Amino acid sequence: MLPMVTVPAELAAAAELLDGAVNYLSASGVPCRRPPLGMMVEVPAAAVEPQLFVRADFFSIGSNDLTQYVTASARDNSTVAALCDPLQSYVRVVPLEPVAMKTRKEMLEEFVAEDASDSFSRYALALEYVKAGQTDDARREFEFVRDNDPAYVATYFQLAQLYRNLGLKHDAEKTYRSGITVASKAGDGHTQSELEGALESLLME
CATH number at residue 175: 1.25.40.10
What domain range includes position 63?
A: 1-101
pLDDT at 198: 92
- Axis-axis angle for helices 104-114, 119-131 (nearest 10): 150
Write down the pLDDT at residue 120.
Answer: 85
The string of pLDDT tens digits covering residues 103-160 is: 778 878 888 888 888 888 899 899 999 989 999 999 999 999 999 999 999 899 999 9
pTM of the predicted protein model: 0.59
Q: Could you tell me if 108 and 198 lie in one domain?
A: yes
- 49 and 71 part of one domain: yes
Same domain as 107, residue 20: no
Rounded to an integer, the average pLDDT of 28-36 is 76
Choose between 198 and 93: higher pLDDT.
198
| Pair (73, 37) in one structural domain | yes
Q: Are residues 69 and 141 in the same domain?
A: no
| Burial class (CB within 10 angstroms; exposed 0-12, middle 13-18, buried 19+) of 23 | buried
Q: In terms of domains, do 61 and 127 share one?
A: no
What's the number of domains the chain is made of? 2
Q: Look at 139 and 41; give whichever has higher pLDDT.
A: 139
11 and 22 assigned to the same domain = yes
Please give the Cα distance from 46 to 52 (Å, whole number): 8
Q: Which of 101, 130, 164 corresponds to the end of one domain?
A: 101
Query: What tens digit of pLDDT does each residue of 164-195 get?
Result: 999 999 999 999 999 999 999 999 898 899 99
pLDDT (0 to 100) of residue 96 = 47
- Per-residue pLDDT, 85: 63
Q: Are residues 106 and 96 in the same domain?
A: no
Q: What is the pLDDT of residue 197?
A: 93
Residues 181 and 121 occupy one common structural domain: yes
Same domain, 121 and 196: yes
Domain boundary pick from 77, 101, 125: 101
**Domain C-terminal end among 101, 121, 154:** 101
Q: What is the pLDDT of residues 60-101, one digit of tens each?
A: 887 778 877 777 777 677 676 666 665 665 555 555 455 555
